[in-house]
Amino acid sequence: MKEVKTPRKPLAIYYALVLLMLLLLNFVLLPWMGERQIKEVDYGTFMTMTEEKNIGRVDIESNQIIFTDKDETQVYKTGLMNDTGLTERLYDAGATFSSEIVEQSSPVLSFLIWFVLPIILFSAIGNQMNKKLMEKAGGGPGSMMFGGMGKSNAKVYVQSTAGIRFADVAGEDEAKENLQEVVNYLHDPSKYESIGAKMPKGILLVGPPGTGKTMLAKAVAGESNVPFFSMSGSEFVEMFVGMGASKVRDLFKQAKEKAPCIVFIDEIDAIGKKRDGQIGGNDEREQTLNQLLTEMDGFGTNSGVIILAATNRADILDKALMRAGRFDRQIEVGLPDVKERAEIFDVHLRNIKLDPNLDRDFLAKQTPGFSGADIANVCNEAALIAARHDKKFVGREDFLSAIDRIVGGLERRNMIITPEEKRLIAYHEAGHATVSWILEYANPLIKVTIIPRGRALGAAWYLPEERQVTTREQIMDDIASTLGGRAAEKLVFDTLGSGALNDLEVATKKAYSMVAYLGMSDKVGNMSYYDSSGQGEMALTKPYSEQTAELIDKEVKRLLDDAFALATKVLREHRDGFTQLAELLLEKEVVFSEDLERIFGKRIKDIKREQAEAAAAA
C-alpha cells in the first residue's frame, strides 16, 4: 500500500532548462537560419543588379554588403570593393539604405522565440506545478481555478477480499470481539434495521501508537468485504486553509456512494482536540472538526458507513465528538501483555528462519512495554543483524541486540570512556542490579550492560510485572533499586556522578506520586491532589495550602532518603556479591539474570512462589 513517488525535480531545474533552450535558439539556430537565407554572390552580380535597378534595400558594412532584390524576396551578400560612386548609383537605382536587413528578415520568428515561447513554456511548468500541488492537497489532477480545489484524496486502500483479517492481528481479543459486531452488521445492515437496532456510527479506537489500531480497522473491512477509506487527521489540516472542511465533505460523499464501507480516520486528535476557546485558536482545525461533526450528524444511523477513528489520547478530544450519534463507542487497544507479545512474535516470526533453540516466550519476556509495531521492528532488525553476520538462522544474540538497539539506540562502542569512568559505570549498574535482585518487591532484572547506547552509558533492564495494583512496598523497593546506582557510587567511591540524573528524576516522580496522588504517606494522609479530568481549572491554583505543600515536599524527601538508605544497606550486606557482579560486568560488559542467580542465589520472591506451588501440589 505504499505509494511510489517519482523523485521531484526542483523548480530551478525547469527554469534553467527553459533558459538554456532560449539561448540555444538565439545563438545557434537563429544565426544558422539567417545564414541560410542569405545568398552569397560576386561583386559583378551586385553591379548588374544595381544597373538593372533590381535592388531593394542595402546595408554597406565594414567588410561586406548585404542587399535584397527589388521585391525583397531574397537577401544577398557580397564582398566590399573600392567602388567610387557606388552610393549615388544605388540611390539612382532606387535602393533604400538600411542597417537591419538580416534581423528584420525574421521579425516574426524573433517575436515567437523571445515572447511567445517563454510564455508557453513557463505556463506549462506552472500548470504542471499546479497539478502536483492539487494532487498533494488532495484534488487529483485539475486546475486550481476550475473546481479541483478541495477534492479529497481519501483512497480506497483495501478492497473486497484482499484485506487484512482479524487472524493477522495477534492478541487484542476484547477489541476484536467488539468489532466483530460491526462486521456482522456490515454483512447485512438490513437485519439490524428491521429489528430496530442502531449501529453506532463512530467507534473510537484508543491506545498507544503501534498497537494495531490501523490493522484492526483494516481487518474489519477485510472481514466484512467492504471498501476501506482511510485518512489521517493531520492530513486534513496540513495544507491550505479551508481545505480540511472540503476534504471531509468529499471523503463522506465518496463513502456514502460506496456504502456499506469503513471510513478510518487515523490520529483524530489532530482535528478533534478540545476547543479551548482561546482567542486566535486554530481556525482551520475548528472548521474541519465542525465539518466532521456535521457530516456525522447528516447521514442516517443505518446508512452502512461506519467510521473508525484512532487516537492515543481520548482525554484531549473535544466532548462534542463523543456525543451520542457520533463517536459514542470506545474500544481500548492497549499495549500487549507477555502472552500477547508471544502471539505477536508468532505472527512476525513466520517469515524468519529462526534458531530452533529459541522460543518466542523468551523473546516476549525480554520485551516488556513493547508495542506490536516495536515487536515487528525487533524481528526485522534481528534478521538484518543475522544477515549482516552471514548466519543461517536468526538467534538469541541477534534478537537481544535488536531489542537493545530499539530501546537504547545504536551501540556507541567507540565512545571514549576512561577506565575510571568505566569502573564507576560498572559499579553503578551493579548497584541497581544487586538492590533489585535482593529486595523482595522490586521488579526482577533481565540484564545489565555497560555498553553505551544512545545517551545512556549503561543500563539495567527490569521486567515489570504484569500487575494491576501496586502496593507501597513495591514502589518503595522500585525507588530503592532506582537509587541503587547512586548508592553504589557513594559506598564504593565516596563520590556522586552526574550519570544518575535520570534515576533521580524517576525516583522523585515516583515518590511524589506516592505522597500527593496515592495517599501513601501517613503524614499527608488519605488525600489525592490528582486531577484526572485534566481540565486544568485546578491547575491554576494549587488545591492545597502552603503548609500542605511543605509537608508534601518533606515527605517526598523522607521517602527518597529512606529508599537511599535501604539501597545502601542492601549493598553493604551483600558487598561480596555486589563487587563480584561489578567485576563480572567490567569483564563481560553484559550480564544476564542467570549470572545474578549464580552470584546471589534465587530471588526471595521466586523461592516463596516455588514453596507455594509445592504446597499446593502436595
**Least spacing, CB of residue 153 vs ligand ADP, in Å:** 19
* Identity at 1, one-letter amino acid code: M
**Residue 429 designated active-site:** yes
- 533: how many CB neighbours lie within 10 A of its CB? 9
Please give the distance of CA 18 from its chain centroid, rounded to a whole number.
37
- Nearer to ligand ADP by Cβ, of 334 and 444: the residue is 334
Strands (E), 167-267: 202-206, 228-232, 261-266
**Least spacing, CB of residue 327 vs ligand ADP, in Å:** 16
- Nearer to ligand ADP by Cβ, of 217 and 430: the residue is 217
Residues 335-374 that bind ligand ADP (CB under 6 A): 344, 347, 372-373
Which residue of the chain is nearest ligand ADP when measured via CB?
Answer: 372
213 counts as binding ligand ADP under rule CB under 6 A: yes
**Least spacing, CB of residue 336 vs ligand ADP, in Å:** 7
* Closest C-alpha among 321, 311, 336 to residue 207: 311
- Nearer to ligand ADP by Cβ, of 316 and 549: the residue is 316
- 546: how many CB neighbours lie within 10 A of its CB? 8
C-alpha cell at 294: 456535521
262 counts as binding ligand ADP under rule CB under 6 A: no
| Binding region for ligand ADP (CB under 6 A) out of 147-155, 209-217, 233-241, 610-618 | 209-217
Torsion of CA 312, 315, 321, 324, to 10 degrees: 110
Q: How many CA atoms lie within 13 A of 385 on its CB side?
A: 22
- Reading across the β-sheet that carries 261-266, which strands appear in turn? 155-158, 228-232, 261-266, 305-311, 202-206, 329-332
- Nearer to ligand ADP by Cβ, of 364 and 459: the residue is 364
Report the chain's terminal Cα–Cα distance, integer Å: 57
Answer positive or negative: Cα dihedral of 398, 401, 407, 411.
Answer: negative
* Closest C-alpha among 399, 395, 333, 339 to residue 364: 339
516 counts as binding ligand ADP under rule CB under 6 A: no
| Binding region for ligand ADP (CB under 6 A) out of 78-86, 207-215, 313-321, 527-535 | 207-215
209 counts as binding ligand ADP under rule CB under 6 A: yes
Which of 295, 340, 343, 429 is flagged as catalytic?
429
| Binding region for ligand ADP (CB under 6 A) out of 124-132, 164-172, 471-479, 480-488 | 164-172
212 counts as binding ligand ADP under rule CB under 6 A: yes
Tell me how far apart the alpha carbons of residues 259 and 256 are, in angstroms, rounded to a whole number: 5
The site map against ligand ADP for 430-459 (x = CB under 6 A) is ------------------------------
222 counts as binding ligand ADP under rule CB under 6 A: no
- 368: how many CB neighbours lie within 10 A of its CB? 18
210 counts as binding ligand ADP under rule CB under 6 A: yes
Number of residues engaging ligand ADP in binding (CB under 6 A): 17
What stretch of H or E contains 64? strand 64-68
For residue 331, the cross-strand partners are: 205
- Nearer to ligand ADP by Cβ, of 351 and 495: the residue is 351
In this structure, the chain runs to a length of 618
**Least spacing, CB of residue 164 vs ligand ADP, in Å:** 9
- Nearer to ligand ADP by Cβ, of 172 and 318: the residue is 172
**Least spacing, CB of residue 354 vs ligand ADP, in Å:** 17
Tell me how far apart the alpha carbons of residues 550 and 485 are, in angstroms, rounded to a whole number: 28
170 counts as binding ligand ADP under rule CB under 6 A: yes
Annotated catalytic residues are 429
Residues that bind ligand ADP (CB under 6 A): 169-172, 209-215, 310, 344, 347, 372-373, 376
